[in-house]
Chain A
Amino acid sequence: MDGDIELRVDGRRRRLRVDTRTTLLDALRDGVGATAPKKGCDHGQCGACTVLLDGRRVITCLALAVAHDGAEVVTAAGLARGDRLHPVQEAFLERDALQCGFCTPGQVCSAVGVLDEVAAGHPSAVTADLTGPVELTDDEIRERMSGNLCRCGAYVTIVDAVRDGAR
């Protein structure tokens, strides 16, 4: 069974006909032609498919496309303005917080989401004070970025990049 949906992806309106079984990830990749969200596990275990969905970071392999008619999706490609990279992307490059690059678009989207969450005062499992503002410590970054696996082992520089990207 198919369904018609409309998505706004990286600022462009896209109308799609999708199988009701199609994940948001497959709709973005196969339907829209977006290459930034990656399929690393298809089970919500690796984070490579992370995008910003209506402003929040979401794992798109666990979302069904038909359930997100009208959604606003920003992928790593949409974070850059032409050749001008988002500060988080710039920091990933400068810190060499990537190697193979396959998890990177998801890491970048997740990092942007983390910075928003911290700015909004959302606590994490390692936040000591649940009442006040959240300080962006390295422990906070590590904890909040742990849903994004990196097999090349770039974690140490990813933490550096997220810290730099916040400035």
Chain B
Amino acid sequence: MTDLRRPRVLGQSPRRVDGPAKVTGTARYAGDQRVVDPAYVHLVQAAVARGVLTGVDVSAARLVDGVLAVLTPDNAPRLASTEDAELAAFQSHDIAFRGQVVAAVVARTREIARQAAALVHVEIDHESHDVHLSADRDDLYAPEQVNTGAATDTERGDVATGLAHSPFTLDQTYTTAWYNNNPMEPHTTTALWLDGDLALFDSTQGVHTTREATAKVLGLEPRHVHVIAPHVGGGFGSKGTAHVHVVIAAMAAQAVPGTPVKLALTRQQMFALVGYRTPTVQRVRLGCDADGRLAAIAVDAVGQTSRIKEFAEQTAVPSRMMYAAPNRRTTHRLAALDVPVPAWMRAPGECPGMFGPEVAVDELASACGVDPVEFRVRNEPAVEPESGKPFSSRNLVACLREGARRFGWEHRDPAPRAREEDGWLVGTGVAASTYPVTRTPGSSATIRCTGPGRYRVRIGAADLGTGTWTSLAQVAADALGVDFGDVELLIGDTSLPRASVAGGSSGITSWGSTVVAAAEAFREEFGADPAEGDEAGAEMPEGSDEYAMHAFGAQFAEVRVRVDTGEVRVSRLLGVFAVGRVVNPRLARSQLVGGMTMGLSMALHEHSVVDERFGHVVNHDFAEYHIATNSDVPRVEAHWVEEHDPHTNPMGTKGIGEIGIVGTAAAIVNAAHHATGVRVRDLPLTLDHFLDRP
């Protein structure tokens, strides 16, 4: 066991380095970059969910003054790789989902591009489509593996026997909705093709991964693709992989060499083109004894994927490590439908996958008369249940205890529907959170002395609001043993050393370990008093997989349900997390509170409603796809327990970008049950669940 460095700058709360530029609006995002006389791209989408494109008539569009080019499957250049079907723009006449891009207009102004796009006449032989997700379909299939490379199914012991011998059992089905990431910045690419080189100002969570994906599709050497993303207006996974608009922006740029082109997706287009969280159906079976000790845990998860590209949400994966039980089973099945390609959305797997089981635990605890905090404490595993590995640190119990204390849980009357205030039924609930510590290989960093006591740290990392500009500089300062102000950090550009994508809450673990290694290499080579221009670098060191590494948390919710109308309000959320060492408390609190707020939004509001007759999300804007507004979120608190974990990385951190959304919806649903006696198993928690009930 190694010991962690004594923190100096780590643990302090410098304000955001990029903050002044952001509060004044001078920070330049992908659509804000200064380019000379740009052209604009507007996309044309298929209005049917399955069929064959028989004709794209661009004659009227071409006649509009100011139109520079119109790309369609009939005239677009052939791409070097169509292996990733999502990125194979204009390479086929097959329509695989409603909203697929069938043409792109390049024009002198936004207005002209949009006008001409409306004049493109598209003919499609419509075939019957199928977008209906159900766990009862007879064509569900088992993917080879699920997201993150985890096994599709697992089994330990015998669930049937475990359930048969349990005095208390539960067998319920829970569903989560289709959710769209909806970062505030629509996906935008500004592209310039000049002398065989492609420059992309892109809203991306990874400049290098976007470069690699784009170069492969276009058949370019990666060194000929330059991707720049100093600021990213949120991503939540939807900017974690390149989507088709990046390829189309590049093709449009190649169609007008020397002219920069700007392609900004509309909010509506984002509902079909940049990924989303699959709806899930989760059958949960649990069995326990009279003391609430689990004998069996089984989770069978069903999700959807597209017909052209598989994405398998790892919904049942958190149930493999959360609670102890000798008999356990998890499965994942998919329906391949005529739908847009699902992808990452904040805490894929854990977020939907901790909904069903954490509501189920509340139901079973209630059935056997054990307090739901205590129930969870009693089912703490000594080692990771399926792998048998020791935990590097596991402080779920501390989070539950500390959360209960702060929330005032001890005064709770467990009886449902026991508290009414001014026409509102009031209840409280709890759920657990977890998220794995992910270390993504493939980063490197350099450190250069730029003057007496001054250092420049270079790594192509990303800041999508996560605070990388600030927190990674703090990591570097401690690794070099200098003050925060002595470090100049450069990120967000492929001219910098390669960095892994900002995904899986892996940023600080991966980039931070790399920066620490580079600092060690620098000090080893140049000592404490380097000369200006001295430079050293390092790759991310390999880690050990000796330990099971996860962050944990406990979330408590107070919910009010209006007796007359069923209106649901979350009057309070309180989370306590065990996330290793916290790099910057000011920024960390924002991340955790932000995740919880998105969890509240998921619980109460969000639901992409699919019209199965036509195959598209009908509520494809902010007027109808509701996300939480300021007045929906009166009180959210995030706290953390001290946690010393010498195994995760040299800083002792665990990722914090995603755990905040995990378990929130379950805590809210459990609180709503306590308030009303109505058990909701299908999100969102709309008022109709609470009407027409005795």
Interface residues of A (CB under 8 A from B): 19, 21-22, 26, 29-30, 33-43, 45-46, 48, 75-77, 79-80, 83, 85, 89, 92-94, 96, 98-105, 108, 138, 141-143, 145-159
Contacting residues, chain A, for B31 (C-beta < 8 A): 29, 39
**Complex formed: what's the CA distance from A35 to B19 in Å?**
15
**Complex formed: what's the CA distance from A49 to B421 in Å?**
40
Contact across chains for B633 and A156 when beta carbons are under 8 A apart: yes
Interface residues of B (CB under 8 A from A): 15-16, 18-29, 31-32, 34, 109-112, 115, 182-186, 231-234, 236, 264, 266-267, 464-467, 586-587, 589-591, 593-598, 601, 621-623, 627-636
A–B complex contacts, Cβ < 8 Å, 13 sampled: A38-B185, A99-B234, A100-B183, A101-B21, A105-B23, A150-B184, A150-B630, A151-B234, A153-B593, A153-B596, A154-B594, A156-B633, A157-B590
Contact across chains for A105 and B597 when beta carbons are under 8 A apart: no
Contact across chains for A45 and B15 when beta carbons are under 8 A apart: no
**Complex formed: what's the CA distance from A75 to B23 in Å?**
11
The chain B residue with its CB closest to the CB of A75 is B25
The chain A residue with its CB closest to the CB of B629 is A146
**Complex formed: what's the CA distance from A33 to B636 in Å?**
37
Contacting residues, chain B, for A30 (C-beta < 8 A): 109-110
**Complex formed: what's the CA distance from A153 to B591 in Å?**
8
Known contacts A30-B110, A35-B28, A85-B20: does B627 contact A101 (CB below 8 Å)?
Answer: no
The chain B residue with its CB closest to the CB of A145 is B630
Known contacts A100-B465, A102-B185, A108-B23: does B234 contact A152 (CB below 8 Å)?
Answer: yes
Contact across chains for B467 and A101 when beta carbons are under 8 A apart: no
Contact across chains for B464 and A96 when beta carbons are under 8 A apart: no
The chain B residue with its CB closest to the CB of A80 is B24
**Complex formed: what's the CA distance from A43 to B269 in Å?**
13
The chain B residue with its CB closest to the CB of A48 is B184
The chain B residue with its CB closest to the CB of A78 is B24
Contacting residues, chain B, for A19 (C-beta < 8 A): 109, 111-112
The chain B residue with its CB closest to the CB of A94 is B15
The chain B residue with its CB closest to the CB of A161 is B23
Contact of B622 among A37, A108, A138, A149 (CB under 8 A): A149
The chain A residue with its CB closest to the CB of B15 is A93
Number of A-B contacts (CB under 8 A): 195
Contact across chains for A103 and B184 when beta carbons are under 8 A apart: yes
Known contacts A36-B26, A41-B621: does B593 contact A159 (CB below 8 Å)?
Answer: no
The chain B residue with its CB closest to the CB of A43 is B621
Contact across chains for B598 and A96 when beta carbons are under 8 A apart: no
Contacts A38-B29, A89-B20, A153-B601 supplied; 10 other A-B pairs, CB < 8 Å: A36-B24, A40-B185, A41-B267, A45-B621, A99-B591, A142-B633, A152-B184, A153-B593, A153-B628, A155-B629
Contact across chains for B622 and A38 when beta carbons are under 8 A apart: no
Contact across chains for B16 and A98 when beta carbons are under 8 A apart: yes
The chain A residue with its CB closest to the CB of B262 is A30
Contacting residues, chain A, for B636 (C-beta < 8 A): 153, 155-156
How near does chain B come to A86, taking the closest CB pair, in angstroms?
8
How near does chain B come to A8, taking the closest CB pair, in angstroms?
17
Contact across chains for B597 and A102 when beta carbons are under 8 A apart: no
How near does chain B come to A167, taking the closest CB pair, in angstroms?
17
Contact across chains for B15 and A22 when beta carbons are under 8 A apart: no
Contacting residues, chain A, for B632 (C-beta < 8 A): 155
What are the nearest 9 A-B pairs in CB distance?
A36-B25, A153-B597, A100-B465, A102-B233, A101-B22, A105-B25, A99-B465, A153-B594, A45-B622
Contact across chains for A89 and B23 when beta carbons are under 8 A apart: yes
Contact across chains for B184 and A149 when beta carbons are under 8 A apart: yes
Known contacts A38-B233, A39-B264, A102-B184: does B24 contact A45 (CB below 8 Å)?
Answer: no
Contact across chains for A22 and B234 when beta carbons are under 8 A apart: no
How near does chain A come to B360, taking the closest CB pair, in angstroms?
27
**Complex formed: what's the CA distance from A156 to B635 in Å?**
7
Contacting residues, chain A, for B34 (C-beta < 8 A): 33
Contacting residues, chain B, for A46 (C-beta < 8 A): 184, 267, 622
Contact across chains for A100 and B233 when beta carbons are under 8 A apart: yes
Contacting residues, chain A, for B27 (C-beta < 8 A): 35, 101
**Complex formed: what's the CA distance from A138 to B630 in Å?**
10
**Complex formed: what's the CA distance from A48 to B34 in Å?**
20
The chain B residue with its CB closest to the CB of A153 is B597
Contacting residues, chain A, for B111 (C-beta < 8 A): 19, 21-22
The chain A residue with its CB closest to the CB of B183 is A151
Contact across chains for A155 and B22 when beta carbons are under 8 A apart: no
Contacting residues, chain B, for A34 (C-beta < 8 A): 25
Contacting residues, chain A, for B110 (C-beta < 8 A): 22, 26, 30
The chain A residue with its CB closest to the CB of B588 is A96
Known contacts A39-B31, A154-B590: does B627 contact A104 (CB below 8 Å)?
Answer: no
Contact across chains for B19 and A155 when beta carbons are under 8 A apart: no
Contacting residues, chain B, for A41 (C-beta < 8 A): 186, 267, 621-622
How near does chain B come to A74, taking the closest CB pair, in angstroms?
11
Contact across chains for A101 and B18 when beta carbons are under 8 A apart: yes
Contacting residues, chain B, for A98 (C-beta < 8 A): 16, 19, 22-23, 465, 590
Contact across chains for B232 and A100 when beta carbons are under 8 A apart: yes
How near does chain A come to B236, taking the closest CB pair, in angstroms?
7
The chain B residue with its CB closest to the CB of A83 is B20
**Complex formed: what's the CA distance from A39 to B632 in Å?**
23
How near does chain A come to B377, taking the closest CB pair, in angstroms?
29
Contact across chains for A96 and B590 when beta carbons are under 8 A apart: yes
Contact across chains for B28 and A100 when beta carbons are under 8 A apart: no
**Complex formed: what's the CA distance from A80 to B597 in Å?**
30
Contacting residues, chain B, for A75 (C-beta < 8 A): 25
Contact across chains for A85 and B23 when beta carbons are under 8 A apart: yes
Contacting residues, chain A, for B601 (C-beta < 8 A): 153
The chain B residue with its CB closest to the CB of A76 is B25
Contacting residues, chain A, for B593 (C-beta < 8 A): 153-154, 156-157
